Chains A and B, each alone.
Chain A
């Protein structure tokens, strides 16, 4: 048996629905149709009345989830694409994110964002929004890179008493497969050493973990050992694991598919430079998408976001190779 990243997301939701009567799923076309990406396939049938089609009203959808959460439910919201969450942004950042701090009443909503670039999708179906949400206090932002994490972190997202922005990468939906779902996983908030190495640390998350692993493989054949750290969640961000890795390698390259200004890679760099300057043998580097909207044409798209090729170049430069 093998299971894809997308199927893992479906399975996690099925399990959450089965185990917790407070869970329901709300979003556009999530019902009988099973969602634009089929992440809720057959769930409406298996859990009658709990997997429900919404109107095209992102602000009201997220507002509804917040209300239901206040009332003791555990809603899972599917945005059809991460990009459209901008329309519900106000509810997320001003309502969900502030509720606990203002009232001591927690807000356990899970908002699934099908995120990230796939070729030919263009500026409004490709965005990575983890940095924007992570900027706001009061939100947990998950960015799973593996089938196992997609499954377990989504279950954890539902269980967590706070609002969780669950960034699931569309490129990984079908590309990534595992043999089976593991029984348990690391808790959210802990980064994972995806590959060990002593010469350079590449910190990545979501789809970029796989580009980084490909680079590690390539450079290993030339005798360079790259350590790849998968952040798993960008908020909380596991500074300790990153710092421990940099302590071993003395070099840092941080890679993100999102835009360069601010964001996750800037945050990692700031923490390492601020708290671990003495650990560094070379100036820390980062690689992001270019500072333009995500282009449609595959030729442009492939050059817009970091790839194994551009990461390898950056890694070689950093290593003086």
Chain B
């Protein structure tokens, strides 16, 4: 996939940290704008099923998308709008999947954040937490078997997801096989309503990596500079053959679990603490402070992103919804193995 959607630097070599930061900020802004748009559509009753946002996690997520290159693998989860965009997922994929357009990658069969393009290295998450990590391992393993080197696979997981057996099996396997896996753990303090105190008893989630013999780093997930650096370094180390890397980011989910959830269980003290800072605001202030962008420019970017989001939604709203009579209702690719008795919908 190509990175052309919002970046003015598309195709150009990102030269300085200033450019890198600014570029990342613009992706974050687009992700936030798009998420806000989905939230609005949800409230207007225009979206079937749930809406899940990445608000507060854009700095971490975008750092993953930007550290990866074409040919790498990314298994995002539910709060990775920014990383998906930066990795190259077209805006239209998100909008089409949320609105169920037949022209989207999931064709109305799956929805919302359950989308991807496996052949292009963007894995379509299943809901079952932890399940994607081993699949990334598999792609990396297959590349090694074919003597393709220099590839990295990144998988996202939440604080809650680290309690799954799948997480533990997959990180151990990656370590044993010394795969170039980068595990991005967003410790956003909650798994739905469950605080981390009910999820794990280690001092910090990086301790889990130590137990498996995996290199790990922590990072302030509200600080874009830190995220770009730490995630960038982890991806670099994996690429250089140092085996799996884990990055644990501290941040706060600045939304409900889904848009249906008012999240009144979130501790107000956390919201006021440094972990509760909004990474987008922090990044904006940093841009202004450094003189890398002025307020007017940022306003212009903001309207540019709103325009992109609205254009995409307007386009998709004119697209066809799935028609049960057009559906082939087939779950096998081997035509000759299909049972022929499928009746048409009545």
Q: How far is the CB of B106 from chain A (nearest CB, A)?
A: 7
A32 at the interface (CB under 8 A from B): yes
Q: Using A124-B127, A297-B111, A299-B108 as known contacts, say yes or no to A310 and B191 having CB atoms under 8 A apart.
A: no
Q: Does B345 contact A (CB under 8 A)?
A: yes
**CB-CB contacts below 8 Å: B299-339 with A:** 321-324, 327, 329-331, 339
Contact, CB under 8 Å: A33 / B265: yes
Q: For the complex formed, measure the closest distance between the CB of B208 and the CB atoms of chain A, giving whole angstroms.
A: 13
When the two chains form their complex, are residues A296 and B111 in contact, meaning their CB atoms are under 8 A apart? yes
Interface size grouping (class) on chain A: 35 or more
CB pair A300–B164 under 8 Å, yes or no, is no
Chain B at the A interface: SS class: loop
Segment touching B, from A114-122, A160-168, A173-181, A197-205: A114-122
CB within 8 Å for A56 and B161 given contacts A87-B166, A124-B127, A295-B109: yes
Q: Counting CB contacts under 8 A, is B199 at the interface?
A: yes
Count of chain B residues with Cβ under 8 Å from any Cβ of A?
A: 42
Decide: A291 and B193 in contact? CB cutoff 8 A.
no
- Does A267 make an interface contact (CB < 8 A)? no
Q: What residues on B are CB-neighbors of A54 within 8 Å? A: 198
Residue numbers in B under 8 Å from A295 (CB-CB): 108-110, 322, 327
Complex partner residue of B192 from A28, A121, A304, CB under 8 angstroms: A28
Contact of A56 among B49, B199, B327 (CB under 8 A): B199
A238 at the interface (CB under 8 A from B): no
Q: Identify the closest chain A residue to B47 (Cβ).
A: A120
Residues B322 and A297 in contact, CB atoms below 8 Å apart: yes
Chain B neighbourhood of A303, CB < 8 A:
324, 327, 345
A-B contacts, 11 listed (Cβ < 8 Å): A28-B192, A29-B193, A55-B198, A56-B161, A60-B165, A122-B112, A124-B128, A292-B331, A295-B327, A296-B112, A310-B345
Contacts A33-B194, A120-B111, A291-B331 aside, 15 further interface pairs with beta carbons under 8 A come to A29-B193, A53-B198, A56-B164, A83-B127, A84-B127, A87-B128, A119-B49, A120-B50, A121-B49, A124-B128, A296-B110, A296-B111, A299-B108, A302-B324, A314-B346
Q: Which residues of B contact A (CB under 8 A)?
A: 47-50, 100, 106, 108-112, 114, 126-129, 160-161, 163-166, 191-194, 198-200, 265, 321-324, 327, 329-331, 339, 342, 345-346
